[in-house]
Amino acid sequence: MGHDGTHMGNMAQASIDIGRVQTIRKGVLLAAALPLVAAFVLVQSPWPEGQKIHESLEWLGIGLIAVCIVGRTWCTLYIGGRKSAMVVDEGPYSVIRNPLYMFSLLGAAGVGAQTGSFVLMLVVSAIVWLVFRIVVAREEKHLLNGLGEPYRDYVSRVPRFLPRPSLWRNAEFLEVRPSRVVRTFMDACFFLAAIPLAELFEWLQELGVVPVLLRLP
């Protein structure tokens, strides 16, 4: 009984700690978004709007954002708020430990691609990956403390960011929490805002309303 109480206490503490880490992650990402907005306003692709390379990058970005939205929603069907309560190792979590972050990274790349600049797409991806890498390391420390040996075994088997498809195994049944699925879907849809924003800033640049300080291929 005492052991169960200690384990439950560890899980509760892990949940609190992860909540704190998530708050820090959101704050860091918000801070990182400010330079991105500046890049949207002041940086321009050397390929003008309508040119094939520019249009291809924009469509690539839209595709990545769509994958991000669908992928994050799919992951929530499996994780559904259980991250700090138990080891989830089915579906996308059977091949990669952090699929939600992986899909968010694809979405960030899609946002960067809306500028029509391949370099800016890579820069945005690198910044977001760095933030996620720091956050995930802290999250895993708290999960290991809360979930113990089962999570240690999971970490030893499943890669952190690069999927290993050979590990795939599905769940026979899913306990879905609709409110969390809807919330994740709506949150992911914010990535779509980059599409009209990029078009708006490109239009303002063409009108000369905002200056172009740098051109990045």
Q: What is the pLDDT of residues 149-208, one digit of tens each?
A: 999 999 999 999 999 999 999 988 888 888 888 988 998 898 898 889 888 888 877 777
Please tell me the predicted confidence (pLDDT) of residue 12. 46
For range 60-68, the mean pLDDT: 96
Whole-angstrom Cα distance, residue 12 to residue 153?
A: 21
Please tell me the predicted confidence (pLDDT) of residue 197. 85
Dump the DSSP string for 99-112: HHHHHHHHHHHHHH
Please tell me the predicted confidence (pLDDT) of residue 11. 45
Asked whether the predicted pLDDT for residue 217 surpasses 90, the reply is no
Is 66 exposed, middle or buried (CB count within 10 Å of its CB: 0-12, 13-18, 19+)? middle
Asked whether the predicted pLDDT for residue 55 surpasses 70, the reply is yes
Average pLDDT of the residues of the chain: 81
pTM value is 0.80
Provide the residue ranges of all domains of the chain, joining segments of one domain with +. Answer: 2-215
User: For the ranges 16-20, 94-98, 116-120, which has the lowest average pLDDT?
Assistant: 16-20
Please tell me the predicted confidence (pLDDT) of residue 14. 46
Please tell me the predicted confidence (pLDDT) of residue 102. 94
Percent above pLDDT 70 for the chain: 77
